Every structure is written in C-alpha cells, then in structure tokens.
Amino acid sequence: MRIDFMNYFRLFALSLITLLATQVGARAETPDADLDAANRAYQDGHYDESAKLFRQLIETHGYSAPLCFNLGNAEAKAGHLGQALLNYERARYLAPGDSGINHNLQVTRKQAGLDPNPYRWWQVVMRSINWTVWLAVIVTCLVLLLIAVIGTASAQALSGKTGASAASIRRFFKGLSFFCVPLFLFFGFVELSTVGFNDRIEGVVMGKPATLRLSPFDSAEKTGTLPEGELVTVEQRHDNYFWVDDASKQSGWVVDKELEPVVPGTFEPSDAK
Amino acid sequence: MRPLSRFLVAGLGLGLLLVLGVVSAQAAATLTQHIDPPEANVGDEVTVTFSVQNGSGANIRLPNVDGLQLAGTSTQTNFTIINGSMSSAVSQVFTIVPTRTGTFTIPAFDVPLQDGGVLHSQPMTLKVVAGGAPSSPNGSAPSGLGPVMMPPAMANPSNGNAADLSNPNITPPVESDGRPARVFMLITPKTTDAYVGETVPLRIEFFIRMDVIAQQDSLPTMKGSDFLMNDLSVRPGEDDLTLMNEPYHRETWITALSAPRNGDFPLQMVRDTYWTKGSNGVFTDPLGNFFGPRPQLAHGNIPSNQLTMHVHALPDEGRPADFTGAIGQFKASGNATPTAVNVGDPVYLDFSVSGEGNFDHVRSPALTPDPAWKSYVASSKVEYADESRTQGNKTFHQAIIPQKNGNLPLPNASFSYFDSTQKKYVTIPIPLPLVTVSGTSVPTAATAPAGADNSTPATASSTTDLNPNRLELGSLQADFVPAYRQPWFWLVQGGALLLLVIGALGVWISSRRGQDRTGTERALRQRTLRELEEAMSDAVNRQDAPAFFFAARQAVQLQWGARWNLPPEAVTLPLIAARDPQAAETLGPLFAQADEVIYSGLNAGNLNLAEWELHVREELLQLQAA
C-alpha cells in the first residue's frame, strides 16, 4: 500500500494555518473588546474601573501609546495625578511628538501644581523626535552624498551622454556634496546628543511628596521634597535609594518606593547607572 | 729567577690574592638610618644619619620637609677588616632644625649607588614640641597604661547660649604617672537648656597624645537614647595642639542634637578606640626586622565628659495654628510670579526661610484658605550654611491657580516658629503682590483640602480640557525598547555610511587608475601626433597631396577626439559642426580638400601644400593650447 505523504502534509498545513488563524483572530478580538469595555467605563464616569481595565489590558497585551494615554486619562479623572502623569510620560515615550499626549500631560502637570512644561525648547524638541523620521533623514543624506561622489567621478562620461560640459556636471555634484556633508554632520551630532538625552533613566514621584535626603540612609538629613507627579532623572543608585534631580536641578537621595520608572524595568539594579 | 724578582712575584701574588679575597668577602650594600633625638623642641638641632655599608658612590639627598630646616651636612667614611673580610661604610649626617611644633615625617626615598644598585630608606618621624617644653629623654614609646577617663567636672560649658563652640581652655585629665591623658574626648553643646525638638549645635573633640599610636575604627556615638544626633558622615577637622606641655592630635566634629521629650537627661558620648600598649617588644624581637613591628593593641570605649541637658516642653500658650515645630530664629520672605495670568494658569510662589534652627521642622509658609485660589503642594530645598546644619536657607516653590478673574490678592501667607532666645512664638507675615487674572472664571472651583504638609492637590475637578480617549489599541509591545536601542536602527545607518565609504573608495581607486590610463593615452597620442606631423612634412617635401591630407585630417581628428573624449575616427565634420560650429567653419575646407584629394587620387598640382601645412599646424597648436 502506497502512503500519500502529500495528502498528510496538506492536512497538517491546513490544520496549522487554521490554528494560527484562530489564535491571531483571538488575539485581535480580545483586546478590542477589552478596550471598548474600558472606554465605556470611562465614558460612564467609572474612572477607577476604567483605569483597572486599562491596566489589565496592558498587563495582558503589552504597552502602546494609546493604552498608556487612556490609562493616564482615567487616572487623572480619578484624581490619581501621580499615576496619570506616569502613564502620560509612558505614552509620550512611546509616541514622541504626539500633540494630544503632550497636551494632556501639560494639563495634568498644571493640575498637580507642577510647571506644565519644565523643559527648554531644545529639550522639548529632543523629547519629541520621531526616530523613524530621523533615520530616514540621515540615510537620505548619506545616499545623496554617495550619488554626489559617484556623479563627480563620472562627470566625463555623463558629459559624453548628456552633452552638458563635464565642468558643469562636476560643479553640480560638488554643490550637492557641500550641502549634504554639513547636513549629515549636523543631523548625526543631533542624533547622538538626542540619544544621550533620551537614554536617561527617568521616574515619576508617586503618592505623597517624596523626601530628598542628603545621604542614602533613612536617618540622613532631609534636604527637601519633590511633589507628587514630578518627573526626575535617576543618576545613581545606592541600595534602595536613588540619587535624582528634576528639571529645576533640585537633587537628593530618594527612597525607591517613592518613585516609579517611566520605562518599566529600568530601576532594576543592573540597569541603574 | 733572581731573589728580588721572586720576592716581587710573591708580593704581587699575595696582593692579588688579598684583593680577590677581600672582594669576594665583601657583602651586599645595605643602608642604615637613625634620627637623634626622635623628639625635640622647636629650634633644637636634630641629626639624621644615613650609613651605606659596602656600597660606593652613594648620593644621598634628604627630601625637603615643611617645618624642618636643613642646617648642615657632613660625610664620614670608615673601612673595617675583620677576619679577612673588609667592609666599608659611608655615613652622611644631616643636621636639621625644626621651625614649628608637630609631627614630621621624613618620607622614604631611594639612594642610588655607583654600581647601578638602589637602596631604599624608610620613613622617619620626628615629634617637635614648643620651645622650652621637656622632650622625652630617650625618645622611646612609653609603656601603655590604657586610656584615662575624662573627669565629669571637666570643661563643663556654660548653660547660656554660647555663640562660639570653640573651647580655648582645655584641661586634659591626668594619668597616674602625672602626665596628661593619652586619649580623651570632650563634648561641648551650644547650650544645655533646650526645648523639645530644638536643634542644639554640638562640638565633639577627640584628643590623642602624640606619643600614643591610636587607631579608631568607629565614630563617636551618643550614649543612651535620650537624644537624636545628626549623622557624623563628614570627615572630622584635624589639628595638632599642646596641652599641659604635651603635643596632642585632635579630631573635631561639629554636629547637632535634639531631644524628643522634656526632662533632665545625661548627655555623654563614647568612642570605640584601639591604641598601642607599648612597643618595647618590637625592638627586642630578633625577628622584628624580618616580620616588621608588631604593636600590642589595647581596646576600650573612651567616654566623653558627661553633662546634663535640661529639655523643656514648648509652651501651649500663644501657639499659632500654623506652627509646625520650627524652633530657632528665622526670617521669612516670599514672591509670586507672574503677576498677570489667565484663569487656570499657575502663579508660582517662592518662599525663603533663613536663619538658625531645626530646618527639618520648617515647612512652607501657610496660606489662608481662599476660594479664589487653588493651592498645591510646595516643593522644598534646603541649603545649610554650617557644619551643624542648624544655619541655612530653606526655599519653597508652590503653585496656586486662580479660579476667577480680576485683580486678586494672593492668599495671606505667614510663617510661625518658636523663638528659643525670647522663649515665645513668633509669626512673620509674608507680603505677596496683587495678581491680575484675565479670562473666564472656573464655575465650580474646588478648594484644596488641608494636608500633612500644607495642602494637597484637589481631585480632578478641572480635567474637562483633557483630550478624549483613543479608540484604537495602537502598536502593542511587550517592552519599551526605543528605536535607537534596536540593532537595525544603527545597522541601517552604518550600512548607508559603509556604502558611502566603499563608493568613495571605489571612485578614488578608479580615479587613480584613470589617471594612469590618461597619462599613457596622452603619451601615445603625443607620439602619434608627432608621427603624423612628420608624415605631413614628408608629404609636403614629396608633394604627395593624398598622403599630406590623410595625415593632416588624422592629426586634427586625434586632437578633437582627445578634447571630447571620443575615438579619433568618431570625429567627423558634421559632429564638429554640431558641437562647435565656429571650428567647423575653419576645418571645413581641410576636410573637404582631404576628401577630394584622397578619393580622387590627385597629386599636388596647383595645391600649395606648404601653406596647408602651416594652416594645419596652427590649428593643431590652438587645440593643444585649449
């Protein structure tokens, strides 16, 4: 008896495709339904319930700028300004330059009694950079430079084909080079600076105002406080204390439980600078 | 051999043997050193001797030490032969004069020898006391007797508010041998009358007699639990001084303490200390030089003088409602910016409280509740002006938001504290400017509820201007890794950059090769041109018109082809006419005559070939120049 392996293979492939399709369909449907439920709770004024549903969505399916933004809205409406600011910061991190997120972030900062926009214009620009666009700009510069180099070298041949003089062809490509080289250097410099600026470990003050201390010990002298919702940069870690500073350069040691990281996981000891 | 010769030979041999024996018996070079006396008065002469045994050419230079003046140098050389072994010793003696008190260390240094070897000296210590004070007669370390406790009656500070914590009249306790204590501790609070929660500056001094080698692995600690003390995390101030004609090393901390409850409490501190009992064994131990000194350590808690702190409760009478526990003497001021805003925009209040006291209890100045304003939690920052952290300036930054328009007075601000000098509560009103508020009033303004610090943010009452929720899920991701942390982000850019570099490199290599090729082509063209010119001349001489025009046309095609980067045969009269009409006019007759002569096979006849040659050469020269 001859076994038809092709039939078995077709059957197996069909089953696999069906299974995958079911899984994808299930994954695609469930979050949308949950999102609807969370948004409905928000519209009905059940902000705590809505925040809970958004948090569950994130825990189950992962982060996205809209989810963090919606969670920020629910927390803000529920009066949890620290949590709201944390989630707006996360949304802004995932979708830099989104004016809607920035608007809600500023409104909530103002509501929390914080400076709505503590950053200078260049810091705002750096925080708003879209990396995909930036990548496209730099690669375009490099490609144009490559074309300019090849064009300059092939001016004689191009002259024979086009009828234009080789000198004028060379002038054109040299002009292109003179335009692209500084542009590339400028964008490269800004890119590296921006990476450095954005690659900081940031946290948001949670709950009550955080106490700044002179040393990383519970008995150390208090040197000030940071209000709830304030965004700080974590510079150093010592046991359960972080050395932080805010946009107004107020700095000190803060116990870790008073902060939540903007990027989840960055407060792990191995990641702290 | 003559007897004289035999005697000379025997003498030389004996001398040679002796020299060889002496040389072979010489030991390795060594360095010894000593200082005499190890303790001296200011102005006394002290000799420092370095002896190099079995080493020649030693050049010893004493390092400069601040406080020790070099008064003279002398050198002595000694040779000794014992049992056939000869040894030499060169001693260099330095006379130094101390110019001030203190413990000086002549650091270790290297002594280079003539044979290239190097000897290493050891550091030496000289203790210098004030002139006239008796120095230790033999300079040896005294035998250890352990620490002497501070008598309780010693150095009791006045109970008033001494402005200066320094203690100029220190009398150390005396040991059984009549000498002042080896190690003792002294505490001096600014006052022994304080209020609950008041921060009292405290000076802690730890004295170690110079001839005692002591070691402290811990900081002074408060005995008992009646007081709270600031951390002693800063390094102590260190200096040397003389007490009862004995030189001491002193460590000083300036800190502050406070009492959490009222009553009379003993105030005393202790410090865990190790010190050397004695060092006699070090020198009698035959292996001492091999294993190094082995001092015998003793251990004990050194207590300070004991005082009694009288801690009073704060009076209830006259206590302001906004009193937060600040005790001391303070000044408060405030400012608001901007003074013209829209409804809903924050006005920032900046308060400053400076002075002396317990800044831990200094809170942001209180604002009277005002429905026209919504206030938020203030952030604070304190900068201390002294070591005890009792003097400084605490600043507060607070946002308040107008709920209605008009020329609004800011809420009344005030700061209250208890003045420990005047023994009464003081409230400082802080004037704030008027704020012009424009825009539409908020219909339902919520007042900020009172909180633990000052105020807490009101719950979301004005979130109506938040952008609405998003209805799409967006791009879900398990983590927050940004694009610039993804390998592809840098690989794409790196790839483009690499492509550019490779392209530039390729162009450069190609251009180098092109240059070589162009050079070869040019040389070949020149040679061909010369051959064609020679052919033209021969043809003129022979009156061979076809040969002349053939060569002339080829020469012209060669030069135009080089100019346009085309092969010579591709250069035709129509092409020249298309690209350079003026040249076509000049060259047209030549090409026409050449065609006619070559195809018809006519000879010179009535043609003036010499004139044609001149014309063609001029044309070629012009092309060459171009």
Same domain, B250 and B359: no
Nearest Cβ partner for A112 among B457, B489, B503: B457
Which of B290, B181, B451, B562 has the alpha carbon at shortest distance from A227? B451
Nearest Cβ partner for B346 among A65, A110, A146: A110
Query: Any CB–CB contact under 8 A between B217 and chain A?
Result: no
Q: Is residue A37 part of a domain?
A: yes
- Residues of B with Cβ-Cβ distance to A135 under 8 angstroms: 483, 489, 492-493
- Report CB contact under 8 Å: A248, B397: yes
Query: Percent of chain A at pLDDT above 90?
Result: 29
Q: Is residue A57 part of a domain?
A: yes
CB of A203 within 8 A of CB of A261? yes
Distance from CA of A136 to the nearest CA of B (A): 9
Same domain, A76 and A143: no
Q: Is residue A223 part of a domain?
A: yes
CB of A160 within 8 A of CB of B566? yes
**CA A223/CA B359 separation, integer angstroms:** 9
What is the separation, in whole angstroms, between the first and last Cα of chain B? 105
Q: What is the pLDDT of residues B341-356, one digit of tens each?
A: 888 788 889 999 999 9
Nearest Cβ partner for A221 among B389, B493, B507: B389
Q: What is the pLDDT of residues B273-286, one digit of tens each?
A: 776 654 443 333 44
Residue B137 has pLDDT above 50, yes or no: no
Nearest Cβ partner for A64 among B233, B398, B477: B477
Judge if the upstream peptide bond of residue A269 is cis by omega within 30 degrees of 0.
no
Give B142's contacts (C-beta < 8 A, 6+ positions apart). B136, B211, B278
CATH number, domain with residue B85:
2.60.40.10
Query: Any CB–CB contact under 8 A between B421 and chain A?
Result: no
Final residue of a domain: which of B378, B411, B438?
A: B438
Size of interface A-B (CB pairs under 8 A): 189
- Residues of B with Cβ-Cβ distance to A118 under 8 angstroms: none
- Report CB contact under 8 Å: A113, B380: no
**Averaged pLDDT of chain B:** 76
Tokens of A42: 């928000």
Q: What residue numbers bound the domain in which A246 lies?
A: 201-261
- Residues of A with Cβ-Cβ distance to B376 under 8 angstroms: 112-114, 227
CB of B347 within 8 A of CB of B338? yes
Same domain, A24 and A61: yes
Nearest CA in chain A to B451: A208
- Residue entry with tokens 């090769």: B513
Is residue A148 classed as helix, strand or coil in its secondary structure?
helix
Tokens of B151: 């008598």
Same domain, B304 and B209: yes
Query: Any CB–CB contact under 8 A between B484 and chain A?
Result: yes
Nearest Cβ partner for A142 among B233, B401, B500: B500
- Residues of A with Cβ-Cβ distance to B496 under 8 angstroms: 138-139, 142-143, 146
- Report CB contact under 8 Å: A78, B399: no
Is residue B508 classed as helix, strand or coil in its secondary structure?
helix
Q: Is residue A102 part of a domain?
A: yes
Same domain, A17 and A77: yes
Same domain, B50 and B95: yes
HSE at residue B290, side-chain half, CA atoms within 13 A, is: 3
**CA A33/CA A57 separation, integer angstroms:** 10
Same domain, A112 and A86: yes
Ramachandran bin of B115, using left for φ above 0, alpha for ψ from -120 to 50, beta for the remaining angles: alpha
By the 10 Å C-beta count (0-12 exposed, 13-18 middle, 19+ buried), A10 is classed as exposed
Mutation to test the A interface, candidates B254, B363, B466, most A Cβ within 10 Å:
B466
Q: Is residue A269 part of a domain?
A: no
- Residues of B with Cβ-Cβ distance to A90 under 8 angstroms: 480
User: In which band, very low, low, confident or very high, does the pLDDT at B297 lie, cut at 50, 70 and 90?
Assistant: low
Residue B159 has pLDDT above 70, yes or no: no
Same domain, A70 and A107: yes
Residue B426 has pLDDT above 90, yes or no: yes
Return the amino acid letter for B322: D
What's the domain count of chain A?
3
Query: Percent of chain B at pLDDT above 70?
Result: 78
Instruction: Tell me which of B89 and B315 has the higher pLDDT.
Output: B315
- Report CB contact under 8 Å: A64, B469: no
Give A138's contacts (C-beta < 8 A, 6+ positions apart). A184, A187, A188, A191, B493, B496
User: In which band, very low, low, confident or very high, does the pLDDT at B416 lie, cut at 50, 70 and 90?
Assistant: very high
State the CB neighbour count (10 A cutoff) for residue A231. 22
Same domain, A17 and A111: yes
- Residues of A with Cβ-Cβ distance to B465 under 8 angstroms: 107
Distance from CA of B557 to the nearest CA of A (A): 17
Nearest Cβ partner for A223 among B376, B381, B401: B381
Final residue of a domain: which of A156, A178, A198?
A: A198
Which of B:82-141 have CB within 8 Å of A? none
User: In which band, very low, low, confident or very high, does the pLDDT at A80 lie, cut at 50, 70 and 90?
Assistant: very high
Residue B6 has pLDDT above 60, yes or no: no
State the CB neighbour count (10 A cutoff) for residue A154. 17
Same domain, A96 and A19: yes
**CA B566/CA B401 separation, integer angstroms:** 82
Distance from CA of A18 to the nearest CA of B (A): 24
What's the domain count of chain B?
4
- Predicted confidence at residue B82, as pLDDT, reads 44
Q: Is residue B153 part of a domain?
A: no
CATH number, domain with residue A244:
2.30.30.40
CATH number, domain with residue B386:
2.60.40
The DSSP annotation for B108-161 comes to --EEE-TTS-EEE---EEEEEE-TTSPPPSS-PPPPP----PPPTTTTPPPSS-
Consecutive H or E run containing A94: helix A81-94
- Residues of A with Cβ-Cβ distance to B469 under 8 angstroms: 39, 42, 69-70, 73
User: In which band, very low, low, confident or very high, does the pLDDT at B195 lie, cut at 50, 70 and 90?
Assistant: very high
Q: Is residue B26 part of a domain?
A: yes
Q: What is the pLDDT of residues A136-182, one digit of tens each?
A: 888 999 999 989 888 888 887 887 777 778 888 888 988 998 888 88
CB of B309 within 8 A of CB of B267? yes
Same domain, B360 and B394: yes
Give B443's contacts (C-beta < 8 A, 6+ positions apart). none
Q: Is residue B93 part of a domain?
A: yes
- Residues of A with Cβ-Cβ distance to B378 under 8 angstroms: 225, 227
CA–CA distances in Å: residue A183 to residues A44, A141, A176: 52, 7, 11
Final residue of a domain: which of A56, A83, A116?
A: A116
Q: Is residue B377 part of a domain?
A: yes
Same domain, B294 and B353: no
- Report CB contact under 8 Å: A224, B381: yes
Which of B103, B303, B64 has the alpha carbon at shortest distance from B213? B103
**CA B586/CA B599 separation, integer angstroms:** 21
For the ranges A32-36, A227-231, B486-490, the maximum mean pLDDT occurs at A227-231
Q: What residue numbers bound the domain in which B121 lies?
A: 21-129
Residue A15 has pLDDT above 70, yes or no: no
Distance from CA of B504 to the nearest CA of A (A): 6
Same domain, B542 and B590: yes
Same domain, B292 and B362: no
Same domain, A183 and A213: no
- Report CB contact under 8 Å: A142, B499: yes
- Predicted confidence at residue A12, as pLDDT, reads 56
Which of B:228-247 have CB within 8 Å of A? 230-231, 233
Tell me chain A's radius of gyration from C-alpha atoms: 27
Give B35's contacts (C-beta < 8 A, 6+ positions apart). B46, B47, B48, B49, B106, B124, B125, B126
Nearest CA in chain B to A104: B466
- Report CB contact under 8 Å: B346, A115: yes
User: In which band, very low, low, confident or very high, does the pLDDT at B17 lie, cut at 50, 70 and 90?
Assistant: very low
Residue A34 has pLDDT above 70, yes or no: yes
Q: Is residue A105 part of a domain?
A: yes
What φ, ψ does residue B600 adopt, rounded to 5°?
-85, -20
CB of B552 within 8 A of CB of B590? yes
Same domain, B292 and B364: no
Final residue of a domain: which of A146, A166, A198?
A: A198
CB of B405 within 8 A of CB of B437? yes
Q: Is residue A69 part of a domain?
A: yes
Tokens of A129: 């950079």
Q: Is residue B472 part of a domain?
A: no
- Residues of A with Cβ-Cβ distance to B475 under 8 angstroms: 64-65
Same domain, B398 and B354: yes
- Report CB contact under 8 Å: B476, A103: no
Distance from CA of B537 to the nearest CA of A (A): 34
Mutation to test the A interface, candidates B342, B352, B463, most A Cβ within 10 Å:
B463
Nearest Cβ partner for A150 among B348, B378, B503: B503
Distance from CA of B503 to the nearest CA of A (A): 7
The DSSP annotation for B197-219 comes to T--EEEEEEEEEETTS-EE--S-
Q: Is residue A123 part of a domain?
A: no
- Report CB contact under 8 Å: B377, A73: no
- Report CB contact under 8 Å: B380, A153: no
Q: Is residue B521 part of a domain?
A: yes
Same domain, A225 and A157: no
Same domain, A18 and A106: yes
Same domain, B263 and B347: no
- Residues of B with Cβ-Cβ distance to A264 under 8 angstroms: 479-480
Nearest CA in chain B to A220: B231
User: In which band, very low, low, confident or very high, does the pLDDT at B20 lie, cut at 50, 70 and 90?
Assistant: very low
Same domain, A82 and A150: no
Final residue of a domain: which of B438, B465, B495?
A: B438
Q: What is the mean predicted confidence (pLDDT) over B141-160?
A: 34
Return the amino acid letter for A189: F
- Predicted confidence at residue B136, as pLDDT, reads 36
Same domain, B354 and B413: yes
Helix ranges (H only) for B227-353 are 280-284, 288-291
Residue A68 has pLDDT above 80, yes or no: yes
- Report CB contact under 8 Å: A225, B484: no
Which of B:368-407 have CB within 8 Å of A? 375-382, 389, 394, 397-401
Is residue B422 classed as helix, strand or coil in its secondary structure?
coil
Same domain, B209 and B258: yes
Q: What is the pLDDT of residues B500-537, one digit of tens each?
A: 898 888 888 877 777 777 778 888 888 898 999 899 88
Same domain, A159 and A65: no
Q: Is residue B5 part of a domain?
A: no
Please count the residues of chain B. Answer: 626
**CA B529/CA A217 separation, integer angstroms:** 93
Q: Is residue B138 part of a domain?
A: no
